[in-house]
Structure formats: C-alpha cells, structure tokens
Amino acid sequence: MKPRERVLNFLEGKPVDHLPCMPITMMYACKQIGARYRDYCTDYRILAEGQIRTAEKFGFDYVNTMSDPAREAADCGAPIAYFDHQPVALIEDQALLADKAKLLALKTPDPLGGGRMHNGILALRLLKERVGNDLIVEGWVEGPIAEAADLRGINTLMTDFFDDVSFVHDLFSFVVGMELRFAREQITAGADVIGIGDAAASLVGPRIYQEMVLPYERQLIEGIHSMGGRTRLHICGNTRSILGPMGSLHATIVDLDSLAPIGEARNQMGPQQILLGNLNPVTVVRDGTPVTIRAELAECHRAAGDRYIVGAGCEIPRDTAEENVAALAQYAQSVTQ
Amino acid sequence: MPDPKPLYDAVLTGNAQEAKALTQQALDEGVDPLVLVNESMVPAMDEVGRRFQANEYFVPELLISARAMKAALDLIRPLLASRGNQPVGRVAIGTVKGDLHDIGKNLVASLLEGGGFEVIDLGVNVPPEQFIATVKDRQANIVAMSALLTTTMPAMKTTIEALKQAGVRDQVKVLVGGAPITQKFADEIGADGYSENAVGAVALAKQAIKA
C-alpha cells in the first residue's frame, strides 16, 4: 500500500496495512539536505527537496509546506526578521497593526502575487509533481488567532480581548478571508490536506476561546471542507481546557501537542475523531531513545485508540538523533491493522 | 490604614484606570506607598499567579492585571526610590540572542514585578553583552533568560559563559525557562534554576535571592 493510499484510506475509515506516520519536520528536514534554514523558508525548491528526502529516508507518509508562521503576515506587509539557521520571525515592536486603524486599509494579499504565500504554493506544486502520487501533500495556513497575533503583536492582541472586542472580530474576519483564499489556491495546486496552525489559541482559556476564537476556526475549517479539502488542526501548547470545543470543529485530523493528555482528547472528541501526535518533541523524541519513544508511542496509541496517526506533539527538533526519528515510522509500521 | 480591598480588586480584575486612581487617592491622603504595595498589590498579583496556575486565569487576564499593577507602580516607584526602599531583588530579564518570542518572558517579568522585584526588561534578542552590562551597571542580582526555540537554547549557555568571562557570574543567579527548556538542560549549562512555568519562576527567584 502506498503512503498516500494508506493515509486516505485511514481518514475514510477504510482498511490500511499499518498506522500512518505524519510528524512535522521543518528545520529537521532542512538539515537533511545541509541547507540554510533561511533558504528553506524562501526557496520552494529547497523546501521540497528537504521534505522529500526526509519522508523517503524515514518512511513518513507525507510532505508538508510549512516553514514558519510569517508567510501571510509578510505578504500583508508586516516587518519580519530572517535568520540563517532558524525560522523567519515577526518583529513585534514594529507590528503591522500596531495602529488598529490600519486594518481598515489592509488588503488581502494575492496568494499568487509573487510573495511568500506564492512561494508556498510553488512548493506545493513541486511536491505534488514529484511525489504527489505516492505521498500525501499537505499545505499550511495560519489560524485566526495565530495570524491575528502575527499582524497585531501577540502581547497586544491578548489585551485587545478586554479592550476592544469588536476590533478583534474585525481582525479575525479579515484573517479568515485571507486564509480561505490561500487555502483555495493550495487545494487547486494539489494539497490533499491543509494544516492549520493556531498556536495562540492555547493561551486564552476556554471562555475567550469559545466566544472569540472558535467561531472563526469553524469558518475556516468548514470553508476548507466545502472546497473539498481536508484539515489538520494543530494548536501548540496546552489545549487541555479547550479539547471539547476543538473536537466540535470536526477537523479531519486533530494534531495534539504534548501538554494535553490524548486520552482526555479522545473522551471529549469522541471515537471517530482522528488524533495525531502528542509526544513531547523535546523530552521524548529528542532526548529519548528508540526504546523509550516506542514505549511512549504505544501509550499514546493505547489512550487514543485506533483512530491515531503517529507523530510528535509539535515540530521535531533539528538536533534529534536519526534513530529517534526512525523510531516513529518503525512504530507505525509495526502496528498492522 | 485604608481598606486594601478596592486596589486589590482593581489589580486582580485588570482595571488599570481604577488602580491608578485609587493609588493616587491613597497617596494624596498620605498613605505609605509601601502599604499599598504590601497590602494590596503584592497579594493581588499572588492571587493572579494562583489563578493562572489553577487555570482560572489565562494569558489575557494575567496581562491586564499586570498592566493595572504597573499603572499603580508607576506612581509608587519614584516615592519608594526617593526613600531608599530596596526591592526584593533586581532581575535582568530577556529572551536570548536570536529569539524574538517574548510572551513567556513577559508573563514571568510581570509576576516578578508583582512579587516585589525590580525588573529590568531587556526585551528580545538580547546579546550576552547586554546582560553583562546590566549586571555591572544596574547591579542586577538575577539574570533570567527565556528561549522558545530549540535553536536558540544554546545562547543561554553562551550567555553564562560570557558572564563568567566578564567576571560577574558569581554576582548573579542565572534562571532559565521557555518551552523547550528542561531541568536537565539547565543543569548542563550551569544555570542556577529552571522553572517550567511563570508562577514557579517567582518562587525560584525568591529562593535564589536567599541562597
């Protein structure tokens, strides 16, 4: 069974030969080809090469176009910092929407307009062309609160929830419109799955999450599904207090960071929700051994039940030993179904 | 002595305007500024920390409470300084060189300030030389470093080495934190303490000062 068939069958509840394996690699994938991370973020050919090499070497079932959180913000005009060997980052004290009034004039960037979003789409097209018959090709968009934080500055956005709720709604609406447009172009380019990163959602607690964030995540996920896309929701950090609402979104895959117990996610999201990951990427994946990683995976799998995809809770650190990364796919392949 | 509850409540609920007005009113009435700090503001931030730890407060609530505390402290600090009152300790805090992610650092800084520390916030992407200069020039007795990325963690070790080279390592306690940091890593690089969360960082800083 080819990896792509394996994952698609698994998502649809059909028989597969063994568990799928879809861990997030970015800097780790870049390291595999000896490139500078700056180039991985800015040159789609390098990203594609790193992803393909990594998936083939370790037996992963997919490739992914994510490199950093600043693609959309950069195209909006937000000041960003490039580093040779780490991800592109937003410069918060020069946040694009430090002045809220600027939102009124902010235009949705064209995802095919030659900017960083376009670079992501070119990566997707190249991945689709080179490995799209064999592997799942996953695109990526920022979620409403993550992207709002990129544009407004995360510290300021956190106080906006108390100071100016209507501005937050306006900002989230802008973001969802932009991300849906970006997602549509990625699906057109051949994305099998659209990953949604909404890291800051884990910072706000259940009340603000449900009242302010969830409705926009729902718009985004339902919008992508209505385009025929599949979704992978990833919220970095501790999501324990929002697991139930997250489950109500019915994302195709919930990629769970390590701070929320996966058994609780299963209980709150129901038996059909596909869960992914949940290993601590630092203490388990990087600092562990193949033996301890397989044991932790077995425990995650037991707590999550059958609808589980192997992965780490977040990005695999760049300095993880190869045998540790290989242990992920080895576990997946050992669980025949 | 005035009723400490209104200012306590203003800080706890993040009402900066109210906190500032109540503080000004109390000072105008001749209330000792240290009483406002000790009876209202520190207990309020302790409760904020408790609620944060208990998942009753989250980052937005913590930040607006910190903002209210700062609004009141801005009125009080010059008065305390002119009387020669010393803070619990003086902390130079920042995200390490190469790391621009500061929300965790900001939470720790706010709670340290609420715990009676003078916090010298060096911001993000702080080179070792800046930590050293702050230790020398401002007599900081704690250096607190934050990193969100596994790729910037090594800058903590570099900073500790630089503190040694500059001959000031023995003058300060070095505390580290951030998502990828572990106690094992803190031990390996020779830090004096590590906390996995912001509330624990305050207790750690208080312990470090006593040690």
CB contacts of B184 in chain A (<8 Å) are 287
CB contacts of A92 in chain B (<8 Å) are 100, 102, 124
Task: Tell me the mean pLDDT in the region B191-208.
Answer: 93
For residue A282, give the nearest of B14, B98, B180 by CB distance: B180
Considering only alpha carbons, which residue of chain B is nearest residue A237? Answer: B179
B206 and chain A: CB distance < 8 Å anywhere?
no
Examine the pLDDT at B163 and tell me if it is beyond 90.
yes
CB contacts of A155 in chain B (<8 Å) are 63, 102-103, 106
Q: How far is CA A31 from the centre of its chain?
A: 19
**pLDDT for A162-194, tens place per residue?**
999 999 999 999 999 999 999 999 999 999 999
Q: Do A205 and B60 touch (CB under 8 A)?
A: yes
B-proximal residues of A, 109-148, CB under 8 Å: none
Q: Do B60 and A27 touch (CB under 8 A)?
A: no
Q: pLDDT category, B210, cuts 50, 70, 90?
A: confident
Q: Do B101 and A27 touch (CB under 8 A)?
A: no
Q: pLDDT category, B84, cuts 50, 70, 90?
A: confident
- Sorted by where each begins, the domain ranges of chain A are 3-334
Predicted local confidence at residue A334, as pLDDT: 96
A-proximal residues of B, 46-65, CB under 8 Å: 55, 57-61, 63-64
Mutate to test the interface with A, among B17, B59, B181, B185 (most CBs of A within 10 A): B59
Q: Do B151 and A162 touch (CB under 8 A)?
A: no
pLDDT < 50: residue spans in chain A:
none
Task: List, as own/partner pairs, every contact residues A102-111 make where C-beta atoms lie below 8 angstroms and the sequence separation is at least 24, other chains included.
Answer: A103/A167, A103/A170, A103/A171, A103/A174, A106/A76, A106/A151, A106/A174, A108/A174, A108/A177, A108/A178, A108/A181, A109/A72, A109/A75, A109/A76, A109/A178, A111/A75, A111/A181, A111/A182, A111/A185, A111/A186
Q: Do B149 and A87 touch (CB under 8 A)?
A: yes
CB contacts of A240 in chain B (<8 Å) are 55
Predicted local confidence at residue A306, as pLDDT: 95
The domain defined by A3-334 carries CATH number 1.10.1060.10: no
Predicted local confidence at residue A199, as pLDDT: 93
Examine the pLDDT at B1 and tell me if it is beyond 80.
no
* A311 closest CA partner among A20, A18, A11, A2: A20
Predicted local confidence at residue B16, as pLDDT: 97
Task: Give the lowest-confidence range in A170-184, B39-53, B74-88.
Answer: B74-88
Q: pLDDT category, B81, cuts 50, 70, 90?
A: confident
- Mind listing the domains of chain B with CATH numbers? 5-83 (1.10.1240.10), 90-210 (3.40.50.280)
Q: Do B64 and A85 touch (CB under 8 A)?
A: no
B-proximal residues of A, 68-87, CB under 8 Å: 81, 83, 85-87
For residue A205, give the nearest of B58, B102, B151 by CB distance: B58
Q: Do A205 and B101 touch (CB under 8 A)?
A: no
For residue A159, give the nearest of B60, B100, B124 by CB distance: B60
Instruction: Show the tokens assigned to A78.
Output: 């937000």
Predicted local confidence at residue B211, as pLDDT: 76
ipTM of the complex: 0.94
* Residue A80 backbone phi and psi in degrees, to 5: -135, 155
Q: Do B103 and A154 touch (CB under 8 A)?
A: yes
* Averaged pLDDT of chain B: 94
Task: Tell me the mean pLDDT in the region B114-131.
Answer: 94
Considering only alpha carbons, which residue of chain A is nearest residue B60? Answer: A158
Q: Do A319 and B106 touch (CB under 8 A)?
A: no
Spatial distance between the Cα atoms of A305 and A47, rounded to a whole number of angstroms: 33
Spatial distance between the Cα atoms of B88 and B193, rounded to a whole number of angstroms: 18
Spatial distance between the Cα atoms of A325 and A138, rounded to a whole number of angstroms: 20
